[in-house]
Structure 1
Amino acid sequence: MNGVDEEFTSPVFSMETLMRSIANPYGKKVIVNGVPADKTGLEENKDSKEEKTNGIFGAIFIISFIGAIIAMVVFSQTEPLLCLATFGALLFVIGLAILFQHGLSLDNMPSLALPLLGAVLTAIPAINVYHRSHPDSFYFTMDMIIDVICIGFALVGVGLIVIPPLIRSRKMRKCSQIISAMCVYRTTRSAQSKEANGRTRHYDLYAPWWQYEVNDVIYVTCEDAYTNEKVPDIGEIQEIRISPDEPAEIYRPMIVSRLVPLFIGVMFVVISSFTLFVLH
């Protein structure tokens, strides 16, 4: 990474650094992520307040998470079903938090799987525990539990196969104009994965900021996802897609981001279907 790349690449976003990276010799109007540059200070103050609020909710969540882990440890020794129910409740809360933060839309529809899975994992043990004191009530046998889990994974797999292409198709239709844009800034995020030999591989993901001009207005827009695919250097020019009606909305098609959900979805469907076939 050269000096320019290092200067304008950071895990901590800096509006000041971003503004320095923008090429605007003629003093044209600048729109940053859909907000006029002269109003970004107000947006930063708003974001600061939101960050404080999120910090409070984050602290509450961490305390709840620790409490859930302690409860799971206790229940694992006394009542394994309640341990599973506690884990399900934790997934349910995490899923709801994600949905409340990002909203429910086609783009984040896969996130709906987490609260649904949590609800199922909470309901099944709770029903079976209730059955112990009420023998005439409905309960889940082990075969039924396995069937529910397999069907659930199969449905998640179908969602991973169907939903991403729908999202891509919608974005391609909306962002129909192809334009040349220059990468002026990059925010980073660390990630890791396990290799075949068991070693942990550490790498960086990038969210490029693109500068482009539409109708004599300079737009600087950040991609909405971090990736290590086709990562541009600072100053590199690539073709991206923008919405003619909303130039601040951009889209850059990625091959890997299309294939990974498809592969995972197919695996979910195949494994779940095979398990159901073997058991029945």
Structure 2
Amino acid sequence: MNSKIQKIELNDGHSIPVLGFGTYATEEHLKKKSMESTKIAIDVGFCHIDCSHLYQNEEEIGQAILSKIEDGTVKREDIFYTSKLWSTSHRPELVRPSLENSLRKLNLDYVDLYLIHFPVSLKAMEKCKDAGLAKSIGVSNFNRRQLEMILNKPGLKYKPVCNQVECHLYLNQSKLLAYCKMNDIVLVAYGALGTQRYKYCINEDTPVLLDDPVLCAMAKKYKRTPALIALRYQLDRGIVALAKSFNEERIRENMQVFDFQLASDDMKILDGLDRNLRYFPADMFKAHPNFPFFDEY
């Protein structure tokens, strides 16, 4: 297994690889692609695979993982697999069946991390951890106030190990990151490379993160690609970054993020790029009472 991949310890004693492979695929024809690219990702050393019931491709991702276990590239314990509970299954009695359904599709006995995909029930998640179906449990898209409500819940058995949120140079989440660190919760960044993943959410005037002149100048200085600088920026802040690509060359290139570090002065320059720009505004949830993005962070 790739020894380059670093890990961060979670508050329940497990640990999470700091670089993850994102598998989100919007269209039907991309599902097969997501299976192929996941195999390539495992071949080049990715051991953290991030997926979800919502992505509708857990079967394909499971096949990719199993084929790599069968050909001896990895063992099951080498792989850190994340799945997510979608918003239609938050009623406590639906949580475990939802996870079991994902496990059936994946052909796996357990997931390493199970997240609530959008804010709303934790008790039933705790039972999944107790049953050994999920090694760790966490949340996704929660704001500070919503995290606080969970942490202050009477009878909380396991606090979430992580909060997976959109986070990149244009939305650096510094306040939420500080709050998470204070409470021993790991921040996991999706959309770490900006617009690439959300073409259907944005208009053509939205700035393309990887074209940013400051980022491109920094890439020249370090003789790296803008994508590698954007990923390294997150790792140097203690964030777990997810990188998604169907392109073999880019998948291989993303593994080079461990070959260099950014100077603290350059980190400060990159901090200055923040413009509170959300590429994934999740407008379809705006009417929900627990919509997370009305708060400052």
Instruction: Tell me the TM-score range normalised by the shorter chain.
Output: under 0.3
What is the TM-score normalised by the length of structure 1?
0.26
Q: Using CA pairs under 8 Å that are at least 6 residues apart, name the structure with larger relative contact order, 1 or 2.
A: 1
The structure with more radius of gyration: 1
What is the TM-score normalised by the length of structure 2?
0.25
* Structure holding more helix per residue: 1
